[in-house]
């Protein structure tokens, strides 16, 4: 097993734009995270049992120097993709469990942006195979998507190993319940990028980042 320094991306999941801006401001003010990426969670209450802010809410939001990655936990992503491209999102994640997959991936890549497929804990990883040539990254969920602060599903580790063994030319992200306790192991088995919500965002992100031993 190889290990190189992973990329860390903070995640914001919020129901109100007020909460969103509060969390975003923490990242803009952060010494170590302000010029990286931010992972913005969107939910439609259909693919997952929760809802979030909408792309429209972000129209006048200043992201500072942060680059934007959208995680679309929505059943029909196509219209969301169109709106997020207009908002300047550089990377868009849609779910393997959603509709309109091919059309959405095409639209994202056609716009010169990065396309990512996310896979839920219960979905066999082999199902990614038919899309492997059409994506830049895979996002492996470490929880059932919809909420921050959940408990990590241990089988995720074996799922990352298996995806790694396919040798697809893609970057592997892991999202959901990543924290000091499991970060190192996830990187050792093949995760290139760690998406981290509550562990980084609650409190002071710079101080929390210090606690991650990688």
Active-site entry in 44, 62, 129, 175: 175
Instruction: Give the residue closest to Zn ion by C-beta.
Output: 71
Q: Give the footprint of Zn ion on residues 171-210 (CB under 5 A).
A: 175
Distance between CA atoms of residues 109 and 135, nearest Å? 8
Taking CB under 6 A as the rule, does residue 175 contact ligand DX5? Answer: yes
Is the distance from CB of 112 to CB of 85 less than 8 angstroms?
A: no
Q: Give the footprint of ligand DX5 on residues 116-155 (CB under 6 A).
A: 143, 145-150
Is the distance from CB of 115 to CB of 105 less than 8 angstroms?
A: yes
Q: Give the footprint of Zn ion on residues 31-50 (CB under 5 A).
A: 41
| Least CB distance to ligand DX5 at residue 175 (A) | 5
Indicate the residue among 157 and 177 with the shorter CB distance to Zn ion. Answer: 177
Indicate the residue among 54 and 165 with the shorter CB distance to Zn ion. Answer: 54
Distance between CA atoms of residues 20 and 49, nearest Å? 19
Q: Is 180 tagged catalytic? A: no
Tokens 């509060």 belong to 22
Which are the contacts of 121, defined by CB distance < 8 A and separation ≥ 6?
A: 141, 142, 143, 144, 153, 155, 156, 159
| Least CB distance to ligand DX5 at residue 117 (A) | 14
Is the distance from CB of 17 to CB of 11 less than 8 angstroms?
A: no
Instruction: Give the residue closest to ligand DX5 by C-beta.
Output: 197
Contact residues: Zn ion, CB under 5 A: 41, 71, 175
């Amino acid at each position: 097993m190889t290990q190189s320094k992973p990329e860390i991306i903070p995640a914001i999941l919020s129901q109100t734009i007020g909460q969103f801006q509060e969390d975003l401001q923490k990242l803009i003010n952060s010494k170590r995270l302000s010029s990286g990426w931010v992972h913005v969670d969107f939910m439609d209450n259909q693919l997952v049992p929760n809802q979030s802010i909408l792309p429209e809410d972000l129209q006048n939001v200043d992201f500072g120097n942060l680059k934007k990655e959208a995680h679309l936990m929505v059943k029909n992503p196509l219209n969301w993709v169109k709106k997020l491209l207009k908002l300047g999102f550089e990377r868009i994640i849609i779910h393997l469990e959603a509709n309109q997959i091919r059309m959405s991936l095409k639209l994202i890549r056609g716009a010169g942006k990065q396309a990512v497929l996310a896979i839920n804990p219960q979905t066999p990883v082999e199902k990614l195979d038919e899309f492997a040539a059409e994506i830049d990254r895979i996002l492996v969920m470490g929880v059932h998507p919809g909420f921050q602060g959940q408990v990590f599903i241990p089988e995720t580790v074996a799922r990352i190993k298996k995806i790694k063994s396919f040798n697809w030319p893609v970057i592997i992200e892991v999202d959901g319940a990543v924290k000091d306790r499991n970060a190192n192991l996830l990187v050792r088995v093949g995760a290139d990028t760690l998406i981290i919500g509550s562990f980084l965002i609650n409190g002071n992100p710079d101080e929390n980042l210090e606690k991650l031993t990688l």
